[in-house]
Amino acid sequence: MDAPPLLSPAAPGPAACEARAVRKHFGATRAVDELNLCIPSGMLYAFLGPNGAGKTTSLRMFAGLLRPDAGDVYIHGKSVTQNPAEAKRPLAYVPDDPLLYGKLRPLEYLEFVAALWNLGGASARPRAEELLQNLGLWEKRGDYIESFSRGMKQKMALAGALIHDPSVMLLDEPLTGLDALAARHVKDLLNDFVRRGGTVVLTTHILDVAERMAERIGIIHAGRLIAEGSLEELRTHSGREGATLEDVFLSVTASGPGGIDPRSP
């Protein structure tokens, strides 16, 4: 019989993102299985799992890019399936391989994205300049995006996601391909975003980043949320006091989609 999942109650506060009994199939494969998740506003939440666990599928449902087969997802209490325009307005989503317009320069790209959000040039231009400076891209403002490295393109995608001043960011592997300096720029930006009251939900395979930055961590395996809580809560309930997140993660996922192995010490 499967062990119960390790789920600690979320901190009180209004939910920025919520999933209620969400399921998603691709053919005979159940990618997400009865996902119930409540992420309060104003925190950085790390969503972890092995390859194929259902992380990206879950993020894409939160972003409104995939429709759940059952259940529903909410952004600030608004249904993404029933009221998509209103639910997506405060949202930013950056996939792991973002599509950019290579024939545009950075400011042109950001002003183009701003126009899609009905932001005029007078307000968009200062915001675009600030984002390029904060992300270390200001010196490249005269170059075409197609000439950028992968790390620079990732930062450009983040700038595009932030141009309309969202309150919730969904990021799929945002640090992939970044060198140390670029990663620091991105982490500083995300920490500042959360300090100002924003909510970040990110997937990452870099567990050290999740350990240092995340206030709360969810672990998904075979489509099921099998563990959730602060790092200290995960350590306590897995019987691994003082362990790294990597050790806890490997212990939880090794016991399968039922959750933490009850035989664990």
Q: What is the pLDDT of residues 78-94, one digit of tens each?
A: 999 999 999 999 999 99
Compute the chain's Rg from CA coordinates.
Answer: 19
- For the whole model, what pTM was predicted? 0.88
What is the domain extent for residue 141? 103-165
- Total domains in the fold of the chain: 2
pLDDT beyond 90 at 13:
no
Q: What is the CATH number of the domain that holds 86?
A: 3.40.50.300
Residues 6+ apart with CB under 8 A from 43: 11, 194, 199, 200, 215, 216
Predicted confidence (pLDDT) per residue in 14-46, tens digit:
799 999 999 999 998 899 999 999 999 999 999
Beta partners for residue 222, in sequence order: none
CB 168 within 8 A of CB 90: yes
Both 171 and 245 in a single domain? Answer: yes
Both 68 and 193 in a single domain? Answer: yes
CB 223 within 8 A of CB 193: no
Q: Walk across the sheet containing 168-172 and list its strands.
A: 6-7, 224-229, 216-221, 44-48, 199-203, 168-172, 91-94
pLDDT classification of 262: cutoffs 50, 70, 90: very low
Both 33 and 15 in a single domain? Answer: yes
16 inside domain? yes
Both 61 and 78 in a single domain? Answer: yes
Both 86 and 171 in a single domain? Answer: yes
95 inside domain? no
48 inside domain? yes
